[in-house]
Structure 1
C-alpha cells in the first residue's frame, strides 16, 4: 500500500480533486481516482471528501493506493448462478468456497476467472486482477455480489456503497443464545495489532455499524439476520465476536470447538441498490443454501 501526500498550490486552487489527482498521477485514469475517493482512500485535511470537491490553496491531500501487480488472468468455464444481468451490470449468487478474485495461492477457479469466460465487458477500474469487482465476499461466505460491466456503472455503484445507500442483509449462525431480539453494533474496525491476518475492533479503526435481529433462539446458538450500514473487511465476523457471539464454523474468529462446516455460517441473502444508469431501484434475494440448512438441522437435532 503506497502512501502519498500533496499540498495544493495557488495555481491549483478550485480544481476538482479527482482532476487534480489524475494530473498528479498521470498513469491512473480519472475513473480510477474517483473509485479511490469513493472507497475512502483519499483524504483532504484528514477528512474524506467527494470527487467534486474543489481544492483550496494549502489543502493537504493524502492518499493510500494498493499496488496493482499485473497477473495474467485466464477465462475459465465455471458455471455461474446469475440472478440478474443487463448491459451495465450483473448480480451473481456466489457459492461458498469460491474466491472472488485471483491472489497469491488462488490464481484460478475464482469468480473473476468465471466472469471473464461469461462476458468480455467488465469494468477495468480495479485493474487486471479485479475486473468488474465493486465489493467482495469472503471465500466461505456465500451469496449475492454485484459486478460492474463498465467504468460508469462501477463508479455509480461504488458511490452508493460509500454513501451507505446499498441495502445488504445477511443471515448467520452464531454461538450462544442472544437474550434480546435486536441489537446495533457500532464499533470501529481495523487491522488487529496482535495478528495482521485478522481484523478487530480498534480505537483508530474505520467506522463500522451492524444491525441484527434474532430469527430463532437455541439454548447454545442463535440464528440471526444482519443488516450492514458499512462494509468493512470481515465486519459481521468481527462484530459478532466482539459482543461475545462468534460465528459457527469461523476458523479465524470463532472458538476451536465448533460445528465443522469448512468455514463460517454466513450468507449474503439480499442486496438492493439504485441502477447506476437507469436510476431504477433493484432488489434481489437468494434462497438459504444447502450447507446452511444442514447446519441448522444439526443444531435443531441437539435439542
Structure 2
C-alpha cells in the first residue's frame, strides 16, 4: 500500500496515511503497517546532532532515547486503520522524543474532517464528556462518568439534507428503510484530548454517529452507509506542531481522500 510523503527533512516525515493501513506493528497484525514502512525509511545511519533535540527534562523511565526510537521506529502517534490522513513521524531518536513530549503536553493540534448522521442543532461548539472502555465490549469506548476527561471542538461545514438520484439508485433495494435515513453533516473536529475513538464516541453520544462507522453506528444504518461510503468517514486533514530543530510552528494539510470525496457525490448539498 502506497504511503504519500508530504514533507521530509533530516528530522521528520509528514505522510498521508491511506485508509486500510494499520499504524503500528503488533503480533496480531498480519498485513504491513505504517511502522513497518518507517523501519525502512529510518534504517539509514543518522549523525549524532539529533542529541540536541532531546528535551532537557527527558525522563528515561521507559528506556533510553535510542531504545524508544528502536521500539517505535519513529512512530509518534496513530490513526485508526480505516482513518486516512496526515501524520508526522520522526527520522531520528531526538526528534522522536521531542515530538512525543509535544503530544503529551498538548502542544500539537489536529483537525479531522468527518461526515455525521443528522443535522446539528448548534453548528459550532464543544463536546465535553469523559470516555472509558465499554463494560460490555472491550474493543469499544463509551461516555462514562468515571472515564478520562475528553473535549472535542467541532464546526459544521456543510449540510446535506438527503441523497441525490445517484445515491438513491444505489440504495433502491433498501427503499423501505429510507424514511428515517436522511440528513448528513460535514464537520471539522479538533480533539483537545487524545482519547481512543474520541471523535467517534463523542459524535455518537450526541446522536450524530459517523457515516460508515461499523463500531458505533447501528447495524441497520451502517448497512445502508456501506452501500455508498466504503468506510468510516473520518479523515485527518491537518496537523500543527513545533519543528524539533527550528522551534518554529509548522502546519501540514491534506485534502479529503478520493473515496470520501466520491461518497459526498451521492448527496444533495443544502443551499
TM-score range, shorter chain: 0.7 to 0.9
2:249 is the alignment partner of 1:249? no
Paired position in structure 2 for 1:55: none
Q: For 1:133 and 1:280, how far apart are their aligned partners in 2?
A: 21
Q: CA deviation at 1:203?
A: 1.6
2:157 is the alignment partner of 1:215? yes
**Structure 1: gaps spanning 5 or more residues:** 1-77
Q: Tell me the alpha carbon deviations over residues 208-232 of structure 1, each in whole angstroms, 9 at most, x when there is no partner.
A: 1100010011231111000121111
Paired position in structure 2 for 1:140: 82
- Indicate which of 231, 238, 244 corresponds to 1:263: 231
- Secondary structure of 1:180's match? coil
Backbone CA RMSD of aligned residues: 2.1
Mean Cα displacement is larger for which, 273-282 or 118-127? 118-127
TM-score, structure 2 normalization: 0.77
TM-score, structure 1 normalization: 0.70
- Indicate which of 281, 295, 298 corresponds to 2:249: 281
Q: CA deviation at 1:126?
A: 6.3
**Structure 2: gaps spanning 5 or more residues:** 47-65, 162-182
Paired position in structure 2 for 1:125: 68
- Indicate which of 205, 221, 224 corresponds to 2:187: 224
Q: For 2:28 and 2:268, how far apart are their aligned partners in 1?
A: 37
Paired position in structure 1 for 2:132: 190
- Indicate which of 156, 161, 165 corresponds to 2:98: 156
- Secondary structure of 2:100's match? helix
Q: For 1:94 and 1:151, how far apart are their aligned partners in 2?
A: 22
Q: For 1:85 and 1:262, how far apart are their aligned partners in 2?
A: 30
Aligned length: 225
- Secondary structure of 2:68's match? coil
**Structure 1 stretches of 4+ moved >6 Å:** none
Q: For 2:252 and 2:261, how far apart are their aligned partners in 1?
A: 20
Instruction: Compare relative contact order (CA 8 Å, sep 6+) and give the higher one, 1 or 2.
Output: 2
Q: CA deviation at 1:117?
A: 2.4
- Indicate which of 137, 146, 153 corresponds to 1:204: 146
